[in-house]
Each structure stands twice: as structure tokens, then as C-alpha cells.
Chains A and B, each alone.
Chain A
């Protein structure tokens, strides 16, 4: 089972892809999300958002925002991103 990760900013949709896991910089500390995670909402701080898909591990710098997690998808409402 895959996890659908989408990252959107006010200026543009940044990313929409299937991933195996996500690690996000929550404002209360980093948290990891695997498929089938309990639905939850959390504010994000500035930091690296890492995700792993079939081609390996990637990371995106975000400056803050929110993460909405359901069993099969993670939506990140980011303020701004720098892709690296």
C-alpha cells in the first residue's frame, strides 16, 4: 500500500507523488508517517521534509505550514518550499 504525498504552497502545487514513508518537521518535533497512519493534523515548523519512494530518499525544505495525514495520503500545506 502506498502513501500519496502532495505538497502545495499558495503559489503553486509543488509535488504530488506516491511514497513509502514521510518524515516531516512538526512544530513539536519531527514525526514519521507510514501508510495506514491514524488521521491527524499538525502544524509544521521550518525544516527538512524527507520522503522515500521507489527511487530512493528525497528531501524538500519547507518554511512552515501544516500537515494533514489520513491513512492513504499526506497533504502538506506549506508556506514556501525550496527543493533540494
Chain B
């Protein structure tokens, strides 16, 4: 027969766990709301930026800016993997990391000789380090609230490597935030910059012939790094929203599980209590009969 005191202790302990996970769920929900708001707020800038970039690059030679020129053969690949610093967010980090691992395999088969890794977020860094999928050239951690300055720091590092010939292509791997329930790992090329001429949902403003001051080349020298920084910024935002969404979902199911567990343990406790009472009664009755 299960010990009454043990069951009571377990119920109390699970009750405490329940408090923790449900608080984490609330916090994640609030952070998720802020993060999705940030994604929404970045959208107008993204659309305008893409249009401007497309209309400027449309009017110049393909080699007007070194970051626009694709390398003839991609032998050295820089892979930036966005994950969270902290765990307890379900399969989020594992999904992104596994996606990155698969991508590295594919690219190596396609002729890439050297893969350099730039993990953003501690969890992905640990995974990539353990699996030895490539040299980790630099890791970025400790980004709790995404600011444009974070993106600039990462983007500058990547652009410097590209310009110095240390990488022939830079690819970002991050989970696209679809909803709190689904984040799909995906990859996008960061460098070389490919201006997206056909932007879905925006009017084809590329036909406008702009006068450019001081010159298209000078403008590109400012515009292209800005576009790269912004692409990193967006990835950071998606990653942030994905992390909180995944954590909220994970903590929600944890809360439900603890509730269920408490329920079944309470049932067990009551059964045991009833059994103890019955046993005592039987003892008293049989004791009285013996007299």
C-alpha cells in the first residue's frame, strides 16, 4: 500500500513545479507578444528597403559594389545559426541545429571545402561544437532584447570576412516564425546580396527612374551594408519570436501535464486514505468480536 505521506509530498512538489511552469508560460506569452509586434514593426522598413535596393541596383553594373558580386566557386561557406541562449523551449533549438547540420552536409557534397560557423545563441553553439561540424569562428550570445546594434555587430563581422575573402558565401539559418506552435527552420543567403526585384505584395516601383545623389556607386556603398544589417536584424527578430513561442507552447503542455499528474495523485491519495480507514475498521471490528 502506498505511503500516504509520500503521496502528499509528491503532490506538494508537483504543485510547486506547476507554479513555475505556468509562470514561465505567462512570461513567454508576454515576451512573444512583444516579439511579434517587433516583427510587424520591421515590415514597412523591409518593404521600402527592398524597393530602394532593387531600383538602385537595377541601374548600375553588376559589380558596382563588392558585396553584390557572387564568387565563381563557393569553396568557403560561413553559416550563421540562430538559436536561443536558454533551453526549456521544446524542440526549438534542436530543430534549428539539426537543420543546420543537414545543410552543412548538403553543401559539403556540393563542393564546399570549408564551413565556418557563427552561432548566435548559446544552445546552437553547444550543439555545433559537440558535433564538430565545422570551425566555430565566433559566437554571439547574451542578446535578450534584439536591438539594431546587435545586428550591426554581427553583420559587420560577416561582411569583413566576406570582403577579406575568408568566405565565399554567407548563409543564415533560423526558424521562420509562423505561429507560437510552428517555427520552420529555413536558410537564406546573406552574402552576396541578391536584390529581390520581385517583392510580393508591393507595387512595382522599380520602373521609377531615380536621380541618385551623389552617385549610384556612392549610394550603394551605404545602402548595401545597411541592407545586410537589416537582414540580420530580421533573422534575430524571427529567432526571438520563435524562442518565446516555442517556450510558451512547451510550458503550456508542461502546465497541463502537471495538472493531470496532480489529479491522478490526488485520486491515489484518497484511495490509500480510504483503504487505511477500512483496514482500521476491520481491525476494530474483529478485535471486538474476539472479546
Contact = CB atoms under 8 A, between A and B. Distances in A.
Interface string B207-222: 0111111100011001
Interface residues of A, number: 24
B2 interface: no
A42 B214 CA distance: 7
Interface string B132-167: 000000000000000110010000000000000000
A6 B48 CA distance: 10
Interface stretch (B22-30, B36-44, B244-252, B272-280): B36-44
A70 interface: yes
Given A66-B222, A66-B223, A41 B44 contact: no
A3 B196 CA distance: 27
B265 interface: no
A41 B55 CA distance: 10
Contacts of A27: 222
Contact of A28 (B42, B55, B214): B214
Contacts of A80: 148
A42 B208 contact: no
Interface string B199-211: 0000001001111
A75 B213 contact: no
A47 interface: no
Given A66-B223, A77-B52, A80-B148, A9 B210 contact: no
Contacts of B208: 39, 70
Contacts of B213: 26, 28, 40-43
A10 B237 CA distance: 11
B233 interface: yes
A8 B45 CA distance: 6
Contacts of A11: 38, 41-42, 147-148
A13 B42 CA distance: 7
Given A39-B209, A75-B52, 11 more contacts: A6-B44, A11-B148, A27-B222, A40-B212, A41-B219, A43-B219, A66-B52, A66-B219, A75-B48, A77-B48, A77-B52
Contact of A8 (B44, B147, B222, B223): B44
A77 B49 CA distance: 7
Interface of A: 6, 8-13, 26-28, 38-43, 65-66, 68, 70, 75, 77, 79-80
Q: Which 5 interchain pairs have the tightest Cβ spacing? A: A40-B211, A12-B41, A8-B45, A42-B213, A13-B44
A75 B147 CA distance: 22
B56 interface: yes
A11 B97 CA distance: 27
Nearest to B208: A39
B230 interface: yes
Given A40-B210, A42-B212, A10 B222 contact: no
B52 A13 contact: no
Among A6, A8, A65, A70, the one with the most B-chain Cβ atoms within 10 Å of its Cβ is: A8
Interface in B263-290: none
B212 to A, nearest CB: 5
Contacts of A77: 45, 48-49, 52, 226
Interface string B47-64: 011011001100000000
A41 B48 contact: no
B238 to A, nearest CB: 13
